[in-house]
Amino acid sequence: MSAEKVLAAMKAAGEPMSAGQIAEAAGIDRKEVDKAMKVLKNEEKIVSPKRCYWEPK
């Protein structure tokens, strides 16, 4: 699933990323990133240190 790719891309970056940056780093469509991030937010695996940027917990 794309949620694992999104989380892996975020961990590899080592800094907070926007959804667009995650899509580019993971090589997947922005809409897929948005869906995956919704799942990750619900599972409390990612947090937002500042508006529109996300990082793994």
pTM given for the model: 0.85
The C-alpha atoms of residue 45 and residue 2 are separated, in whole angstroms, by: 14
Count of CA atoms in the C-beta half-sphere (13 A) of 9? 21
Residue type (1 letter), 46? I
The C-alpha atoms of residue 20 and residue 13 are separated, in whole angstroms, by: 13
What is the full per-residue pLDDT of the chain (57 aa) written as tens digits? 689 999 999 999 999 999 999 999 989 999 999 999 999 999 999 999 999 999 999
Quick one: which of 48, 18, 41 has its CA closest to 30? 18
